[in-house]
Structure 1
Amino acid sequence: MKKYIQEKNLPSIFDLSKDFFISRKNKDFIQGIHFFVPPGSSKTKKAILWDIQALENWLRGNQNPDLELQELLNRT
C-alpha cells in the first residue's frame, strides 16, 4: 500500500471529494503531519503529498494531538 498520495488522487482512496481535503488544509489537516510539499524547483506549481495513514487516523478520530505535535516539531 502507498504511504503518500497526490492531492488529485485522494478521492480514489477515501471516496471523498478533493475539495473536502482542500477546504480543511491548514485548519484540520496540518502541513508536516497530514500533508507536505516536497522540495522542488518550480516556483509556480508545487506538488502536495498527503500522508494516507495520518488522514485515515483523522477520519476515524484516532488522532493523538501529542504525537502529532511531536512529529511536527521533529520535522522542523
Structure 2
Amino acid sequence: MKKYLQTKNLPEIFDLSIDYFQQRMHTEFIKGIHFFIPPTNSKTKKAVLWDIEALENWLKGYEQNDELENLLARRG
C-alpha cells in the first residue's frame, strides 16, 4: 500500500468525497501531519500529498498525542 496519495485518489481508499478532505484542510487536517505540499517551481499548480496512516489514525480517533496537542496549542 502506498504511504502518500494525491487528493484525487483519497476516495478510492476511504470511500469519502474529495470535498470531505478539502473542507477539513488547515482545520482538522494539519499541514505537516496529515498532508504536505512538495516543493515545486510551478506558480499555479501545487500537488497535495496526504499521509494515509495519519488520516487513518485521525478517522479512527487514535491521534491524541503530545505532539499534536502542542501543535494545536501553537495555532491558538
TM over 0.5, shorter chain: yes
Q: Output the CA distance in 1 between the equivalents of 2:17 and 2:52.
A: 15
Give the 5 Å matches for 1:1-76.
Answer: 1-68=1-68
Matched positions, count: 71
- Percent of matched pairs sharing the same residue: 62
TM-score (norm 2): 0.86
Letter in 1 for 2:23: S
Unpaired runs of 5+ in structure 1? 72-76
TM-score w.r.t. the length of structure 1 is: 0.86
For structure 2, list consecutive stretches of 5 or more residues without a partner in the other structure.
72-76
Runs of 4+ in 1 over 3 A off after TM superposition: 67-71
1:50 is aligned with what amino acid? W
Shift of 1:66: 1.3
Aligned-CA RMSD value: 1.6
Q: Distance in 2 between matches of 1:5 and 1:63?
A: 19
